[in-house]
Amino acid sequence: MRSWILLLNMAFTLSAYPLEIDEKLTTRFLKVSRTKKTVLLNRGLEDGLVVGDHAKFFLTTGVIARGVVSKASPTRSIWSVYRIVDDAKVFPDKVVNIKITKPITMTEDPSKSLYDNSNATMTAGTEVMTLRGDDRGGPPRVRGIGLNDTERKDLETLGDIDINGYATAVGPGMSPDKTLEAYGLLHVNSLSSSVDEGGNGNFVGQEAALDFSLGLEKYFYRPNSLLGKVSFLILLHSGSNSTTSAQGQQVSNSVTEYGIGANFHYIAPALSFNRLIGFSGISLGVGSVQDSVEILSENSTNASSQFDGSSSFLSLATGLKYYTPGGFGGRIVLDYYRRSESYVFDDGENYTKVVTGPRLLVGLSYRF
């Protein structure tokens, strides 16, 4: 069996035409090692790549790296990268172009090395990367390597690259350039109530609640560190509720709060798209509150008694996020919310009111 596999690999090698110097090819980084000195591409022997080929990796902005093929299978190739020009552009799922070049002299002298490590973190040890398993466990991509809108525009500007064979990406991926997100969460109901005073008339009140949050969340593209799983946020929370008692009292409460928080992400990387992302987090802050009470009657309402105070809150949350390649997304959040309200009345007494319990919030997001 092993001999047949070897014969098939030889057949693939002989049937594919090796790429000539200056020939170009569009490809994708499937895997990138921690040091970025080893990368796995979704191109191989069938595309004319052979062990020993040297190439420049480039975008419309210029060359980002240079490397040599160290291993190759029919559809995959492992490259040893010996020079990095733009470290920030070398990451998994990035679509790049390669241009075959003449071999250049290598050296063991670090002072003469072509690898520029000023923008990359080097670690000791032997790097291991396999040609198998990179596509397993996820939904298949459409024909071609799969391009999102940004990648298609980037390649179209090159002019001499034919992208008609590549379809828009539908599988999961990463958006390392979209690290800021604006989001909104909302829970609302608006009802009315009618109370019959048993022969003494009736009155109409309200049963309403509005709870919403607006936030700005910051992510970090650090695939191999804890920071890549964490995001930090600032938020504005506003809530109000109103209820009517059977004795004719309309009680209302409103709150405006400002806070900060952090989320930890799991199930999928925090900057993923077309995948569910789980997260858990904590947020806290301070704000102002207002309580008011009105005595309702059949024909009129008496002036309300209004009390102003301060508040502080704590929220422990868990939920799910989902995003499209374009940055649009949504989230659902279940949290335990605790708010402490403090009032000082005219008689000089201090009163404290505590509001606690679970909340279910849903909202929309946009990453940019």
Say what the alpha-carbon torsion angle 313, 318, 322, 326 is, to the nearest 10 degrees: 30
Query: Does residue 61 surpass a pLDDT of 80?
Result: yes
Query: Does residue 260 surpass a pLDDT of 50?
Result: yes
Query: Does residue 26 surpass a pLDDT of 50?
Result: yes
- pLDDT at residue number 160: 46
- pLDDT at residue number 231: 97
Query: Does residue 138 surpass a pLDDT of 90?
Result: no
Query: Does residue 340 surpass a pLDDT of 70?
Result: yes
Q: Kindly report the average pLDDT of the chain as a whole number.
A: 77
- Over residues 39-59, the pLDDT tens digits come to 989 888 888 899 999 999 999
Q: Average pLDDT for residues 346-351, to the nearest whole number?
A: 76
Q: Pairing between strand 95-101 and 62-72? A: unpaired
- Over residues 294-339, the pLDDT tens digits come to 776 655 555 567 888 999 999 999 999 999 988 999 999 999 999 9
Query: Does residue 259 surpass a pLDDT of 90?
Result: yes
Q: Average pLDDT for residues 217-228, to the nearest whole number?
A: 87
CATH topology of domain 2-171: Thrombin, subunit H (2.40.10)
- Over residues 186-210, the pLDDT tens digits come to 876 655 555 555 555 555 555 668 8
Q: What are the residue boundaries of the structural domains of the chain, listed by start? A: 2-171, 180-367
Most confident of 154-163, 204-213, 220-229, 290-299: 220-229
Decide if 240 contacts 210 (C-beta within 8 A): yes
- Over residues 115-125, the pLDDT tens digits come to 444 433 333 33
Most confident of 16-20, 213-217, 252-256: 213-217
Q: How big, in percent rounded to 5, are the helix, strand and coil portions of the chain?
A: 10, 50, 40
- Domain boundaries 180-367, corresponding CATH code: 2.40.160
* Least confident among 107-111, 142-146, 336-340: 142-146
For residue 23 the two structure tokens come to 């020939």
Gap between the Cα atoms of 156 and 148, Å rounded: 12
Q: Average pLDDT for residues 226-232, to the nearest whole number?
A: 94
The pLDDT-based confidence of 161 (bands split at 50, 70, 90) is: very low
Q: Average pLDDT for residues 250-268, to the nearest whole number?
A: 92
- What is the share, in percent, of the chain residues with pLDDT greater than 90? 32
- Over residues 171-192, the pLDDT tens digits come to 567 777 789 999 999 876 655 5
**DSSP state string for 214-283:** EEEEE----TTSGGGGEEEEEEEEEEEEEEE-TTSEEEEEEEEEEEEEEEEEESS-TTEESS-EEEEEEE
- pLDDT at residue number 287: 95
Gap between the Cα atoms of 77 and 178, Å rounded: 28
